[in-house]
Structure 1
Amino acid sequence: MVHVLYIEDETEIGSWVTKDLTERGYEVTWLRSGEGIEKYIQTAHIVILDVMLPGLDGFSIGRRIKKEDGDLPILMLSARTAVEDKIEGLHFADDYLTKPFHPDELTARVEVLLRRYQKNDDTLKLQHLTIYTKDMRTVDNDTGIEIHLTGKQYHLFQFFIRHLNQILTKEQLYEGVWGESYIDGDKTLMVHIRYLREKIEKNPAKPTIIETIRGIGYRVKL
């Protein structure tokens, strides 16, 4: 699961951002200031950082984080719209989003940064699997054996990896993988997901990688 370190002192915006990201499948640690951030940096996949904070401001905290872990992506949030403030933030941060903002835009920017970070790393750890993102090879860490996915299994898993943490409807999956409109009642997608689970899940009867979201579709969470 993706761990978001979120630093924001405003209770109202902090509450709804934390709630929204949690509902989207992220693990969120919400801090009201930069105090005590050191113990969370090692486990965080991304930092969302407000500029106006009590004590040290977001610019100072962001520089400290980058000094400790230069590969940890930082998304700055601020009500400041001046170009000078954005430039200062982007000297160390990976993106800068001004308030107010829509939660969908925040999530989209988070996902772009996560993909960029994963791309640089070239590997993705997903429970007992290691996925080499350049050529989409999948290895079972328990056995050290590469899992061979064929045809639609490969393209289906690739589509899930490109949309980590997103709840994908049957329509989105079918159109994204088959390139056709989904017809209600068609079992093709369900059958292929069953075959895919048989190859990548430890227990296909109780899947933990490809989650079924009842009444909606499926999700793969990091």
Structure 2
Amino acid sequence: MYTISEENVGKILTIDGVKYPGDVKEKEAAQQQYKAAVARGQTAGLVKASRRKIEKFKISVNVAPAQKVTFEVTYEELLKRKLGKYEMILRVRPMQLVSHFQIDAHIFEPKGIAFLNVHGNFLANDLEQAVVKNRTVTKAHFSFKPTLEQQQKCPDCSETLMGGDFIIQYEVNRDLPSGEVQIVSGYFVHHFAPANLTRAPKNVIFVIDHSFSMRGLKFRQVMQFAQSIS
């Protein structure tokens, strides 16, 4: 039995090699069906996705004895372009050592990849060596598959070094000043991002709230931010 309570993602539950597609149900109905299956001792799964942030999932699972369960969660997310490059941030916070941990990222841009970078604020020493990069003119592939030894803070401890963001940044070739038009299933989207435009002058005015509710840490953070960009 496998139920889901949102429609914005696709899920598949694999039990001992057999795939079970998720049924979309209302939140309360999905929760009740999941609880009933757990009470009977059956293998069951429930996935909840936040409507505001679809990249956040909560997975509940009950595994019957001697069974192996795999969750496959598929969703679409808009990749935003910021400061001249596309950026995808993957949160890596397993909180423990993971025997089989892997990140695979595939990029395909028909117009060609002009700039490419991958880094993580937790990648250091052995963890950085676990990143494998392959790139052609239009395609790129990153793989991050650290061993247990590479994840450990020290040889004889169970603490993990993995705790931060895995960041992928890239930009595409923009030879045509008119942009690019993509047509899929009768719909089209026009990507228009002209390069070498003269920047318009700007005046930035900060209005800083120093009322009682901003006392302490909040006020210090606002002041530090204002000083950092002034």
Instruction: Give TM-score, length-normalised by structure 2.
Output: 0.25
Structure holding more strand per residue: 2
Structure with the greater alpha carbon radius of gyration: 2
Identify, as 1 or 2, the structure richer in helix. 1
